[in-house]
Copies of this chain bind each other. A is one copy, B any other.
């Protein structure tokens, strides 16, 4: 029974750290634009809205890139974090579902600026296919698999209604995609090697409502009884991007 000793440069950055790296990157880019050359963990932590000890521990997972007594070189750190996140290469992204949300995403500037390139827009509605959005022509969802393979798409954004999401998901996985960003309000079932990240407006609002209620009233009404009239809220809402299909 040997003791588990963590390697200095072991592959395995904690998820919580990975989730914060983009935040640091953004703060660093802000500093770089203002011409700052070096930054202390304290200052960077404030800019990113985290604790400075946490920031230092996070960065220590990437390597020892700071200089004691001075801080971190902004440009160098930007490069190291970008490299770790895989932003030094280009990622082809496809957006499926060109409803309100799909359009918003296609026009999103932050996409292009960071190594993410929109390589395709898809919808199942013939009325939308052929339309030109953000310099791209919307293609019919039938061609999904072939286009994914042909253009080397590795990340797919699902912005379809909830009902279509799982089917789209299955198809893009069959085409070899292993990274999915899901905006549809459903739990996607995927194999273990596929990463799904979920963005769900409705859930965020409900979490806010919980805290708001707590602040307002010191908790929900105390009784556990049913009220006289129970109104059951139904799951009638379409996906955020209510596209066709």
Q: Contacts A91-B209, A220-B84, A232-B75 given: A100-B107 contact, CB under 8 Å?
A: yes
Say whether A109 contacts B236, CB under 8 Å.
Answer: yes
A66-95 vs B, Cβ < 8 Å mask (1 yes, 0 no):
000000000110111011111111010100
Residues of B close to A215: CB separation below 8 A: 178, 193
Which one of A23-31, A138-146, A165-173 is at the B interface?
A: A23-31
Chain B residues, CB < 8 A from A212? 86, 91, 154-155, 178-179, 195
Q: Give chain B residues whose Cβ lies under 8 Å from the Cβ of A155.
A: 205, 208-209, 212
Contacts of A241 in B (CB 8 A): 104
* A78 and B232 form a contact (CB under 8 A): yes
Q: Are A221 and B83 in contact (CB-based, < 8 A)?
A: yes
A49: chain B residues within 8 A (beta carbon): 187, 189
A5: interface (CB < 8 Å): no
Contacts of A239 in B (CB 8 A): 110
| Cβ–Cβ contact B110 & A240, under 8 A | yes
Q: A30: which B residues are within 8 A, CB to CB? A: 235
Contact assessment for B63 and A224 in the assembled complex, using a CB-CB cutoff below 8 Å: yes
A-B contact pairs, 19 of them (CB 8 A): A11-B218, A22-B203, A22-B207, A79-B232, A84-B220, A85-B213, A100-B107, A100-B108, A110-B239, A111-B205, A111-B237, A113-B236, A114-B202, A114-B205, A115-B233, A154-B212, A155-B209, A179-B209, A199-B204
| Contacts beyond the supplied A49-B187, A84-B210, A155-B209: 15 A-B pairs with Cβ under 8 Å | A19-B203, A22-B206, A47-B187, A48-B187, A83-B220, A86-B210, A100-B100, A100-B103, A108-B242, A109-B236, A110-B240, A112-B237, A114-B205, A178-B215, A179-B208
